[in-house]
């Protein structure tokens, strides 16, 4: 059986992964589950799948989980902190690692999985945003398999020629068409965006996601981060990636070829599809996803993105063109800004403003080591915090 570790099992991607694995019990064994602070949910998951290990990042949470597991008579062993995450990401009996920890916190355990030569199912886009060249170098050196889980990048992967790593131009690819729904504020009058609430921003019209990712979708920073990620995954420049607003989220992304062909991957907006694809690749397996009914009045709309409405797109493009540690600076500033918005300390429209100020304040340098990346990540967070305090 294939051994699986899920980094971030209590989040939306982790829950969907467990749902897919529950339908394939004869093929996969869950070795480890991890979470940050959600003790009760992780305990329930441990009861259901009985993994060998459970990791809580928070020390107090780990102690509470261990007590509950002992009282329930489970054999699951509890680990804690970053060291615990790295341990279960690189265990010898783990074959696949679902990297679904949100934000920069997922960088080191995902890197550990790649160094150990695992099949890395990458749902954490910040790993490539923060350390794209370093991470891809580790993947190539270790022989790890890297399969994208973001619905857009998974769609691109499915639509690419098998030999795309030889270079997009050499394999007949003209452009990557990266789709995005436009989020809940695609048509909201611009003068009303200042007053939107966290609950409104998290009410995505098509997808069920965590609050941070939902806010990123509402600002379209999510799409900007995905553009950076696509450049690293498919070894191309931002000039070869075009963002397309597609409100229905039925076409998950497309690849345009030099002969005029455009290949698209379509399906219901359900993350279990790319999860099942990556778990089974190069084969296919059931995911439990509802079939796409083409006869139910499905309409497909496409629009160019409005950069006045979504300035975060422009900032992400500037970050990848600047290169070095600037994408890490962008990501760190955005995480601080989104958290401040969720805590109602920052207006929705001020998210992009704060990120841009941090990018102007913190100079980028060559991302020559992981230490340099983490230092600039910390510098950006510090700058964002000071700018927040200054108002």
Residues 105 and 12 sit within 8 Å (Cβ to Cβ):
no
Q: Where are the beta strands (DSSP E) in the chain?
A: 2-7, 28-35, 53-56, 77-80, 96-99, 119-122, 145-148, 173-180, 241-245, 251-257, 262-266
State the pLDDT confidence band at 201, using cuts at 50, 70 and 90.
Answer: very high
Residues 6+ apart with CB under 8 A from 177: 242, 244, 253, 254, 255, 256, 262
What is the arithmetic mean of pLDDT over 57-75? 96
Distances in Å between the Cα of 196 and the Cα atoms of 68, 106, 190, 213, 220 are: 40, 29, 11, 16, 15
State the pLDDT confidence band at 377, using cuts at 50, 70 and 90.
Answer: very high
| Residue carrying structure tokens 């990501």 | 331
Mean pLDDT estimate for the chain: 95
pLDDT exceeds cutoff 80 at 4: yes
pLDDT exceeds cutoff 90 at 102: no
Element (H, E) at 207: none
State the pLDDT confidence band at 205, using cuts at 50, 70 and 90.
Answer: confident
DSSP-based three-state secondary structure for 10: coil
Distances in Å between the Cα of 252 and the Cα atoms of 145, 178, 376 are: 22, 8, 33
pTM of the model: 0.92
**Of 102 and 286, the one with more pLDDT:** 286
pLDDT exceeds cutoff 90 at 158: yes
Distance of alpha carbon 246 from alpha carbon 224, whole angstroms:
15
- Which range is least confidently modeled, 201-215, 233-247, 299-313? 201-215
pLDDT at 208: 65
Domains of the chain listed by start with CATH number: 2-148 (3.40.50.720), 155-268 (no CATH), 323-390 (1.10.1740.10)
Q: Which of 338, 380, 343, 390 is nearest to 359 (CA)?
A: 380
pLDDT exceeds cutoff 70 at 249: yes
pLDDT exceeds cutoff 80 at 277: yes
Q: pLDDT digit string (tens) for 332-376? A: 999 999 999 999 999 999 999 999 999 999 999 999 999 999 999
pLDDT exceeds cutoff 90 at 3: yes
pLDDT at 103: 77
What is the arithmetic mean of pLDDT over 251-256? 98
pLDDT at 391: 77
What is the arithmetic mean of pLDDT over 91-118? 94
What is the arithmetic mean of pLDDT over 141-163? 96
pLDDT at 104: 77
pLDDT exceeds cutoff 70 at 207: no
Q: How many CB atoms lie within 10 A of CB 183?
A: 26
pLDDT at 72: 97
Distance of alpha carbon 56 from alpha carbon 33, whole angstroms:
9
């Amino acid at each position: 059986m294939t051994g699986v570790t899920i980094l971030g099992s209590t989040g939306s991607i982790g829950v969907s992964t467990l749902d897919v694995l529950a339908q394939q019990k004869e093929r996969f064994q869950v070795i480890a589950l991890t979470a940050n602070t959600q003790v009760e949910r992780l305990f329930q998951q441990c009861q259901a799948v009985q993994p060998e290990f459970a990791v809580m990042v928070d020390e107090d949470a780990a102690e509470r989980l261990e007590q509950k597991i002992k009282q329930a008579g489970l054999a699951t062993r509890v680990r804690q902190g970053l060291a615990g995450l790295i341990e279960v990401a690189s265990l010898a009996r783990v074959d696949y690692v679902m990297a679904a920890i949100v934000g920069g916190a997922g960088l080191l355990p995902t890197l550990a999985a790649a160094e150990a030569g695992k099949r890395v199912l990458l749902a954490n886009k910040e790993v490539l945003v923060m350390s794209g060249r370093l991470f891809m170098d580790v993947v190539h050196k270790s022989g790890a398999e890297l399969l994208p889980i973001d619905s857009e990048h998974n769609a691109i992967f499915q639509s690419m020629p098998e030999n795309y790593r030889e270079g997009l131009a050499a394999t007949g690819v003209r452009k990557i068409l990266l789709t995005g729904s436009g989020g809940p504020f695609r048509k909201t009058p611009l003068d009303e965006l200042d007053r939107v609430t966290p609950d409104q921003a998290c009410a995505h019209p098509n997808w069920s996601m965590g609050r941070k990712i939902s806010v990123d979708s509402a600002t379209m920073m999510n799409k900007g981060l995905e553009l950076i990620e696509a450049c690293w995954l498919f070894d191309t420049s931002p000039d070869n990636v075009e963002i397309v607003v597609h409100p229905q989220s039925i076409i998950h992304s497309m690849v345009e070829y030099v002969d005029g062909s455009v290949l698209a991957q379509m399906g219901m907006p359900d993350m279990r599809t790319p999860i099942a694809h990556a778990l089974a690749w190069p084969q296919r397996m059931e995911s439990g996803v509802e079939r796409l009914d083409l006869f139910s009045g499905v309409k497909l709309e496409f629009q160019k993105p409005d950069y006045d409405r979504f300035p975060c797109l422009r900032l992400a493009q500037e970050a990848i063109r600047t290169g070095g540690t600037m994408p890490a600076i962008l990501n760190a500033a955005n995480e601080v800004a989104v958290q401040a918005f969720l805590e109602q300390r920052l207006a929705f429209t001020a998210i992009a403003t704060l990120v841009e100020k941090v990018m102007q304040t913190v100079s980028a340098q060559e991302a020559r080591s992981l230490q340099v990346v983490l230092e600039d990540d910390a510098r950006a967070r510090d700058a964002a915090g000071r700018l927040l305090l200054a108002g």
